[in-house]
Amino acid sequence: MGKVERVATNIPGFDKMIDGGFVKNSLNLVSGGPGTGKTIFAMQFLLEGVKVGQKGLFISFEEEFDNLMGDAMVFGWDFRKLEKQEKCFFFTCKPMEEPNLQMKISEIIKGNKITRVVIDSISVFAMMFKEDAYRIRKEFYKLADFLKKMGCTVLLTSEIPGEAPLDISSGGGSLSRDGIIEFIADSIITVHNSGIGGEGDRAIRVLKMRRTDHTKGPVPMNITKKGMQILD
């Protein structure tokens, strides 16, 4: 069997849980309730990429650009500077108002040789297609396929109301509002902010990751002024 090529997230402590990093050109979903650290995880993934010479693209369908920049600056992450230096790019729009979404995104990726892409969050993208589950699935596949073919390793966030379920095998709970993206993603990571973390109040868990011998249970995690850190 060939060795799986990986993209280290370099989020402190996380790569140890996933055999060294995300599978190259894979689609990874970070799912959790509000305030659990999804956006922080996503920003760190891009920031650490820049540090090793991999350019990033942050796609947002909801958060105002200024808010996003402000949140990042609290951690000392100067994305405006990185954007000026053409190391990290931002694309915000309301999907309904952007008919050529895929073309626009593909131009940015190609034009700048981007290899790490974040979509924060994917929930709004699904809302574009209202309640049409067939259409949502089709559009997700299209998006996933297109980003992978462009040579990108992708991180999607998905916000769910309340706490992420600890068991999805029994059909107990959904990991996204649409209940579809979790079946398309190559990996699912859940972030939690109460109770099960033990040491801290937070935890992170890898529910599935293709081609990866990953840690199974929830692992305590912290968010400090330096960002997210997985505790041992």
Ligand X SMILES: Nc1ncnc2c1ncn2[C@@H]1O[C@H](COP(=O)(O)OP(=O)(O)O)[C@@H](O)[C@H]1O
The binding site for ligand X (CB under 6 A) comprises 32, 34-40, 74, 223-225
Q: 196, 204, 195: which is closest to 222 by C-alpha?
A: 204
Q: Is 44 in the site for Mg ion (CB under 5 A)?
A: no
Q: How many residues bind Mg ion (CB under 5 A)?
A: 1
Least separation in angstroms between residue 38's CB and ligand X is: 3
Residue closer to ligand X (CB basis): 32 or 56: 32
- Burial tier of 46 (Cβ tally within 10 Å: 0-12, 13-18, 19+): buried
39 binds Mg ion (CB under 5 A): yes
Q: Three-class SS of residue 175?
A: coil
Q: Which of residues 35 and 217 has its CB atom nearest to ligand X in the complex?
A: 35
Nearer to ligand X, 36 or 153 (CB): 36
Q: Which is nearer to ligand X, 35 or 195 (CB)?
A: 35
Closest separation in Å from C-beta 225 to ligand X: 4
As a whole number of angstroms, the distance between CA 117 and CA 89 comes to 9
Token pair, residue 49, equals: 């990429």
Q: Which residue number, 74 or 133, has a Cβ lying nearer to ligand X?
A: 74
Task: Name the residue nearer to ligand X (CB basis): 38 or 116.
Answer: 38
**H or E, element range at 28:** strand 27-32
Q: List the interface residues with Mg ion, window 112-171 (CB under 5 A).
A: none
Pairing of strands 187-192, 202-209: antiparallel
Tally of CB atoms within 10 A around 217:
10
Q: Which listed option, Mg ion, ligand X, none, makes contact with residue 21 (CB within 5 to 8 Å by class)?
A: none
Q: How far apart are CA 131 and CA 215, in angstroms?
A: 34
Shortest Å distance, C-beta 7 to ligand X: 20
DSSP class of residue 198? Answer: T
Distances (CA, A) of 199 to 45, 124, 179, 218, 230: 24, 33, 31, 12, 11
- Please tell me whether residue 152 adopts helix, strand or coil conformation: coil
**Least distance between Mg ion and beta carbon 35 (Å):** 8
Q: Nearest approach, Cβ of 36 to ligand X (angstroms)? A: 4
Q: How far is the CB of 113 from ligand X (least distance, A)?
A: 27
From Mg ion, ligand X, none, which one binds at residue 169 (CB under 5 to 8 Å depending on kind)? none
Distance CA(89)–CA(56), nearest Å, equals 6
From ligand X, Mg ion, none, interface partner of 224 (C-beta below 5 to 8 A by class):
ligand X
Per CB under 5 A, residues contacting Mg ion are 39
